């Protein structure tokens, strides 16, 4: 079921947790709300759930599930499934009773028979691969298992939308990976509309059909993971989605200088700051006519698909990070203390004045 938010904002006392936002989530879409802590993402999710009320603004906000206006509908009648960061399982109930809870508290008219409850609970437990633990208590399960119970519990009432608040935040890296993939499969299989909150860019980009990037109670950008990564709308989005290297200096006659570093750029005179991703940095043994950017290697981490190299120089305020293919790493015989030259494959620029203006890209 689709979700439409119109002019939804929230104050806590004098602080504005969420500026009035509009958001459309399509039927059977998996959307991630991504942002640093305090960006308003959890507040937005809780407002969709009905656990929090939106502000009463002059132009009142509206929340629609499909055609149904749920703005003033109580949480218990919104037909949502909510998965909490710390699971919030009923600690005094077995796994079975936890999953069955939503079915057994239904009004008598709609409540399924006990046999039906039983078969539905076991079908869900089978789906989350926990049917052998039905009689355990939550405290006897691992974090990953508890989160799966919590998901089964939320799905038991056949919600219109599934909302997840940092669902994998409290789990270790490996379990998180596994559960992420599993949730993606489950979503593709069952085709429900879901919204999840995360502060982990990787998680948001890997899991979502579309990502809503938020900061300071504002929506910065809504796009597919590819678009978001390739065409960030502003500096915040660019910086939040991955590691960033900064190059600051003065441009005169098409040359940017900073200490003994020089780079030919096609920009008007003035102060400039260029941003680039680690993979946009290329290391070479010699400078070129366009770029003279001497650096020294200070740290090397060869773990993973690429080698991560930390670079320092007098002209850099903060060290740079470069990713190098293992083949190049061996060819250049990189080691700590080696002095090299940097060439830029590509750089980005977000003019200060209008932060909302689209980025400018330059391919070298």
Partner 1 sequence: MRRIGDAPAVRRVLIGAAVVLSALFLLLPLVAIFAQAFSQGVGVFWSNVSNTYTLHAIALTLGVALLTIPICLVFGVALAWLVTRFSFPGRRLLQTLIDIPFAVSPVVAGLIYLLLYGRNGWMGAWLDSHDIQLMFAWPGILMVTVFVTCPFVARELIPLMQAQGSREEEAAVTLGARGWTLFRRVTLPNIRWALLYGVILTNARAAGEFGAVSVVSGAIRGQTNTLPLHLEQLYQDYNTVGAFASASLLALIALLTLAAKATLEWRASRREAFI
Nearer to partner 1, 89 or 130 (CB): 89
Residue 80 in the binding site for partner 1 (CB under 8 A): yes
Provide the 3-class DSSP secondary structure of residue 69.
strand
- Binding segment for partner 1 (CB under 8 A), chosen from 64-72, 88-96, 199-207, 307-315, is 88-96
CB of 73 vs partner 1, minimal distance in Å: 12
- Helix, strand and coil percent figures for the chain, each rounded to 5: 30, 35, 40
CB of 191 vs partner 1, minimal distance in Å: 21
Nearer to partner 1, 97 or 243 (CB): 97
CB of 363 vs partner 1, minimal distance in Å: 49
Among 24, 28, 29, 84, binds partner 1 (CB under 8 A): 84
Instruction: Find out whether 219 and 237 touch, Cβ atoms under 8 Å.
Output: no
Cα–Cα distance for residue pair 340/334, rounded to 1 Å = 9
Nearer to partner 1, 139 or 333 (CB): 139
Residue 350: HSE in the Cβ half-sphere, 13 Å Cα cutoff: 18
Instruction: Find out whether 156 and 99 touch, Cβ atoms under 8 Å.
Output: yes
- Each as own residue / partner, the long-range contacts of residues 303-311 (CB below 8 Å, 24 or more positions apart, any chain) are 306/279, 307/334, 308/278, 309/283, 309/334, 311/281, 311/340, 311/342
Residue 1 in the binding site for partner 1 (CB under 8 A): no
Among 32, 81, 232, 278, binds partner 1 (CB under 8 A): 81
**Residues from 102 through 131 that contact partner 1 (CB under 8 A):** 102, 105-106
Among 26, 60, 68, 90, binds partner 1 (CB under 8 A): 90
Strand 161-165's sheet: what is its strand order?
80-83, 161-165, 193-198, 30-34, 210-215, 218-223
Residue 154 in the binding site for partner 1 (CB under 8 A): yes
CB of 157 vs partner 1, minimal distance in Å: 6
Residue 49 in the binding site for partner 1 (CB under 8 A): yes
Nearer to partner 1, 192 or 236 (CB): 192
Q: How many CB atoms lie within 10 A of CB 350?
A: 22
Q: Which of 144, 235, 219, 229 is nearest to 182 (CA)?
A: 144
Residues near partner 1 (CB under 8 A) = 49, 51, 75-77, 80-82, 84, 86, 88-93, 101-102, 105-106, 137, 139-140, 150, 153-154, 156-157
């Amino acid at each position: 079921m689709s979700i439409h938010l119109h002019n939804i904002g929230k104050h806590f006392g004098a602080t504005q947790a969420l500026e009035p936002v509009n958001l459309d989530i399509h039927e059977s879409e998996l959307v991630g709300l991504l942002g640093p802590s305090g960006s308003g993402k959890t507040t937005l999710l809780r407002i969709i759930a009905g656990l929090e009320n939106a502000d009463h603004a002059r132009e009142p906000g509206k929340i629609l599930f499909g055609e149904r206006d749920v703005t003033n509908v109580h949480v218990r009648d919104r037909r949502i499934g909510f998965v909490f960061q710390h699971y919030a399982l009923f600690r005094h109930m077995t796994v079975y009773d936890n999953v069955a809870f939503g079915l057994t508290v239904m009004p008598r008219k709609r409540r399924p028979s006990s046999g039906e409850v039983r078969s539905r609970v076991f079908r869900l437990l089978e789906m989350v691969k926990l049917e052998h633990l039905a009689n355990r208590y939550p405290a006897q399960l691992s974090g990953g298992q508890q989160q799966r119970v919590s998901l089964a519990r939320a799905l038991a009432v056949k919600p219109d939308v599934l909302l997840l608040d940092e669902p994998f935040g409290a789990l270790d890296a490996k379990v998180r990976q596994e559960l992420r993939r599993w949730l993606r499969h489950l979503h593709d299989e069952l085709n429900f509309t879901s919204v999840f909150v995360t502060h982990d860019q990787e998680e948001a980009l890997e899991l979502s059909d579309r990502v809503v990037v938020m900061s300071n109670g504002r929506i910065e950008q809504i796009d597919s993971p590819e678009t978001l990564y390739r065409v960030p709308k502003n500096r915040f989005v660019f910086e939040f989605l991955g590691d960033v290297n900064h190059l600051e200096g003065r441009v005169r006659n098409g040359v940017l200088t900073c200490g003994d570093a020089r780079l030919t750029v096609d920009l008007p005179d003035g102060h400039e700051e260029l941003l680039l991703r680690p993979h946009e940095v290329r290391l070479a043994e010699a400078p070129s006519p366009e770029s003279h950017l001497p650096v020294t290697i200070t740290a090397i981490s060869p773990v993973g698909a690429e080698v991560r190299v930390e670079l320092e120089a007098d002209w850099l305020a903060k060290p740079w990070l470069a990713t190098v293919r293992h083949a190049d790493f061996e060819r250049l015989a990189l080691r700590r203390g080696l002095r090299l030259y940097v060439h830029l494959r590509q750089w980005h620029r977000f003019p200060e004045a209008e932060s909302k203006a689209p980025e400018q890209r330059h391919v070298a």
